[in-house]
Every structure is written in C-alpha cells, then in structure tokens.
Amino acid sequence: MNLQEQIEHYKAVKQRIATGTPKPQPIQIEEQPQIDEIIEQWIEKNPTSKDPRMQIMEQCAKEYGCTVADIFGPRKPTNIVLARRKAAYLLVQRKRTSIADVGRYLRRDHTTILHAVKMYEKALNEE
C-alpha cells in the first residue's frame, strides 16, 4: 500500500467512525476448505516428506488414525495427543536435535516436549 492509498484509507476510516457506520464485514465463502485439508495438500505438493522428521510424523499419524496437520495443530483428542507424544519421543531419540529444536518443529514449548516424552516413556513402561 503506497502513501496515497494509506491516506485514502485513513480518511475513509475516520469518516466511518465520525458517522457511526459499521465496519464492512468480509464476504463469507460458503464452502471453505478445512485448514487440515489445505495443510495436507501442501504437504503432498512439496517434497517435505523426504525430511526424516516428516516421515516420523507421517508414521505416527497413520498409526493413531489422524493427519500430520492434527499433530501440528492445537486439537487435543486422545488419538492426536498420543500421536503427538510418540512423535516427540521419536524426534528426541534421534539424538541429532535438541529438545528445543523438537519443540520449535512441533510448534510447542520445550517443556511441553519434555512432558510428552516422559508420558510416552511412562506408557511404554506400563506395557
């Protein structure tokens, strides 16, 4: 946005506030693809599956009946949490990456990764 467009936008917002006109709402598209589908399509189109970390993620997702996008996402159903824990455990066991790196890769805090690894090890010991 160049300077002239910014000035025009500022004037329009100022006028809308002064007259009490509500902010225009974005147009809702009736059929929006789910974020999981978008991520899955992106993964299929990009050669990231050659990355050993992504192979671990795909393996864990298949084993627990979820998608790779679910493992990266915020949802917490039991199968996704278990897949996320196993993925964290396997990534930490690779010895090539630190816990902080695994946390960054999984988009989690390093303490969350530590907890996931401990819980997965506890589940292994109980079996």
CB neighbourhood size of 26 (10 A)? 6
Higher-confidence residue of 107 and 26: namely 107
pLDDT score for 87:
93
- At 115, the amino acid letter reads H
In angstroms and rounded to an integer, the radius of gyration of the C-alpha atoms of the chain is 22
Tokens of 89: 């455990």
Among candidate residues 73, 66, 108, the one with its CA nearest the CA of residue 91: 108
pLDDT tens figures, 14-41: 777 777 766 666 555 555 556 656 656 6
pLDDT score for 41:
65
Q: Rounded to two decimals, what is the model's pTM?
A: 0.60
Domains defined along the chain, listed by start: 34-126 (1.10.1750.10)
